[in-house]
Amino acid sequence: MNNTFYPTIIIGAGQAGLAIAHYLHKDNRDFIILEKDQVASGWINRYDCLKLITPNPFNYMPGAAIETAEKFPAKEDVVKFLQNYASAFMDRIFEGTKVNTVSKPEKHFIIETNKGNFECRNLIVSSGYYATPFIPPLAYGLSRDVVQMHSLHYRNLGSFPDRKLNIAVIGSANSGISIAKELSTKHNVSLFEGNLKRFPRKLLGIDIFWWFKLIGIFKIGRHSRLGKKMSNKLMFVGDATYGLYPKALSKKHGFDLFARLTKCEGNLLTDSEGRKVNVDGIVWATGFRTNYHKFIQLDIFGDKNSVIHDRGVTSIENLYFMGLKWQYNINSFLLFGVGRDAEYIYNYMVQKNTFDTPKKQNEILIS
């Protein structure tokens, strides 16, 4: 089988992949990006009313920042920003190229895709921490009559039939609350809460992110004593809410508030306090799971298929990751955090001289 060789290959053209590509491109390194869909597809495919939880000017990447008059950029602002960011090296991005397997039989990585096989010396996986939608097993108890979807597949009010329905939103993080607010303008909505860390949006009139920056939260490494405590308690930025308190919002927007969902039976949902509600539809805002273990055939996984790494560097020579939760600290998978991790990975590669290879771009190898 013929393998097309490139010294460095990045899997995924989201913010993490584009950030490391920025450093490679800046130093005229030879690389390509394999993207199963299109640039910024992780944002394009989300619900329309999505807005960032981070205020400007915390929305930037190496060499560029989101320019918008809005304090919290909308989904379309992020998509436009990332597409413009990628334009500098768009010829290096192979869109519509889905990676099926990654292996390393000998010195180089072999990447099998729907558009042929590739080979590389350096492999950077940045295919997204939020890859596979998670729906809890209790959903199997639902009637087939219930229209249900994960928040990944919800777009707007048009996602449900054009009549008034009883809809439950399961999960009260940022996505769940945003979707519940929108659906409540047309439907009877029940929001089922989860166990989350909730922060105020402002303290003394100043946005909480400025306070985080002031006290050094964004500098706390995952291996420090405090970092270990924070990560062990699941105090992730993306898993917390800011200024979103379900009880107050339910009164303001007219949706009903329930405790944690414990049972689904037919059209009837029951929460942990024994309260029940009949529903016609459900949006599962219940998060995601990683899927690296499904296509990477290498011994780098620990408990619950988590990637074993140190700041994105794995025990497999020349295999790196970008965009992991707590890759280095609490903001590693946010726009303004990926740049620091990308710079670290790139400098690590330079110090190891991993770019020193005699093979040329597009050389065809026979294996």
Q: Is the pLDDT of residue 133 over 80?
A: yes
Which region among 100-104, 135-139, 231-235 has the lowest average model confidence (pLDDT)? Answer: 231-235
Q: Is the pLDDT of residue 99 over 80?
A: yes
- Strand 197-199 to 188-192 pairing: unpaired
Q: Which residues contact 191 (CB under 8 A, 6 or more apart)?
A: 168, 169, 172, 176, 177, 180, 246, 250, 255, 256, 257, 258
Which region among 42-46, 63-67, 329-333 has the lowest average model confidence (pLDDT)? Answer: 329-333
Q: Read off the pLDDT of each residue in 38-49 and give the average, rounded to a whole number.
A: 95
Q: Which two tokens stand for residue 319?
A: 């295999």
pLDDT tens per residue across span 151-166: 999 999 999 999 999 9
Q: Read off the pLDDT of each residue in 86-114 and give the average, rounded to a whole number.
A: 97
Q: Is the pLDDT of residue 235 over 50?
A: no
- CA-to-CA distance for 322 and 185, rounded, in angstroms? 39
Q: Is the pLDDT of residue 359 over 80?
A: no
Say what the pLDDT of residue 364 is: 40
Upstream peptide bond of 55 is cis (omega within 30 degrees of 0): no
Q: Is the pLDDT of residue 365 over 70?
A: no
Average pLDDT, the chain: 91
Q: What global pTM score does this model have?
A: 0.91
Which region among 120-124, 179-183, 290-294 has the lowest average model confidence (pLDDT)? Answer: 290-294
- CA-to-CA distance for 41 and 45, rounded, in angstroms? 6
Say what the pLDDT of residue 128 is: 81
